[in-house]
Amino acid sequence: MITPEASRAARGLLGWTLENLAAQSGVSFGTLTRFENGRPMRVTTAAKIVAAFEAHGVDLVTDAESTGAVLVYARRKG
């Protein structure tokens, strides 16, 4: 669903810190820090993070060959 690398890429596209992501997703800073350092998290927590990125026009790309993020201009909110 989401990888630490995709999360960092998405934050980079939006210019977000972990604090920004915590505020937008409702996921604690500690949980986000542990996740981006490679620790697993619950599916429900991951869904909150994905929803926060998607609400701001970023789609996450994770498959067998690659992981990252793409800014979708048509949906981007100012």
| Residue-level pLDDT at 67 | 85
pLDDT-derived band of residue 64, with 50, 70 and 90 as boundaries?
Answer: confident
Q: What domain range includes position 54?
A: 4-75
Report the CATH number that the domain containing residue 50 is assigned in CATH. 1.10.260.40
Q: Is the pLDDT of residue 74 over 60?
A: no
> Cα separation of 19 and 1, whole Å?
21
Domain total of the chain: 1
| Residue-level pLDDT at 77 | 57
Q: Which amino acid is at 20?
A: N
- In Å, what is the CA distance from 13 to each residue of 9, 44, 64, 72? 6, 23, 22, 10
| Residue-level pLDDT at 66 | 83
